[in-house]
Structure 1
Amino acid sequence: MKKYEFLEHTADVKFIAYGKDLRKLMINSAKALKKVIYNKRVKKREEKKIKIKGKDLENMVYLFLEEFLFLLDGKNFLFSKIKEIEVDEKNFSIKATILGDSSKRYDIQSDVKAITYNEMYVRKEGKLWISQVVLDV
């Protein structure tokens, strides 16, 4: 099963992420975002905690991905891997421990300005969870 794919979009970057459950969907959405920001290996020198609570599935994905941008822009932290993640589908909340490194050690390839709600969706199709996200670059 593919984890994510990039789609054509006029000025921004659009991707669809896949997962057998919401946990895997969040991991693969974060991987797609990382690939846009920095498409090489990032060392796992630091650990950060993420905790978000959304209003619905789309807002949960939005807030989760936005947290990676906040850590990059505000804390100079470049994500490498999700070590642990808990997704509460009923309360639209996520708790995660992520690994990464100081972004100052890397040449960032793409400046993602924001996660957008433009064309965003999160849904279950058969046994597969799918999210579509557009990034403002």
Structure 2
Amino acid sequence: MKMRKWEHYEHTADIGIRGYGRTLEEAFENVAIALFDVMVDVEKVEPKEVREIEVSGEDLYALLYNFLEELLILHDTEGLVFSDFEVKIEKTKEGYRLKAKAYGESLDYGKHEPKEEVKAITYHDMKIEQLEDGTWIVQLVPDL
């Protein structure tokens, strides 16, 4: 059975994003794809450029927040949209460190079909958990 990678879920006036993965890293990668699919049609985003990101957090929630916030900053400052990610997470004395490569290109309104604007990442409805079958779920509701 093919595992679902990500989805949007209804949440009052907002859109929740949820990523699934066989590993925590894969779930982080997929929730980042879900984030950009709120903004544009990620299927149309080509991996022409790569950006390297490094963030840390005292726990996994702070790590997720800082990771997605960094992606939003790249979107806002450089006009980039991303469709693929490679994430590595390691435990440190202070908490966690995440190193990622984000693949994408400059936003093209005609090509990428912009949808919602994400104003900020939030801790709203944030959840990071591993199910009994080993699947990881990572979710939150960004501020639109």
- TM-fit CA distance, 1:43: 2.1
> Separation in 2 of the partners of 1:38 and 1:99?
14
Q: Are 1:19 and 2:29 matched, yes or no?
A: no
Partner of 2:8: 6
> Separation in 1 of the partners of 2:116 and 2:69?
15
Q: Secondary structure at the match of 1:135?
A: coil
1:29-108 to 2 correspondences below 5 Å: 29-39=31-41, 40-82=43-85, 84-89=86-91, 91-103=95-107, 105-106=108-109, 107-108=113-114
> Separation in 2 of the partners of 1:16 and 1:97?
20
CA RMSD of aligned residues (A): 1.5
> Separation in 1 of the partners of 2:84 and 2:52?
12
Q: Deviations over 1:79-116 (max 9, x none)?
A: 1222x32111454211111221112x234221011111
Higher strand share: 1
Match of 1:122 among 128, 135, 144: 128
> Separation in 2 of the partners of 1:117 and 1:37?
19
With the length of structure 1 as denominator, give the TM-score of the two structures. 0.89
- Give the AA of the match of 2:76: D
With the length of structure 2 as denominator, give the TM-score of the two structures. 0.85
Q: Which runs of 4+ in 1 moved over 6 A?
A: none
Gaps of 5+ in 1: none
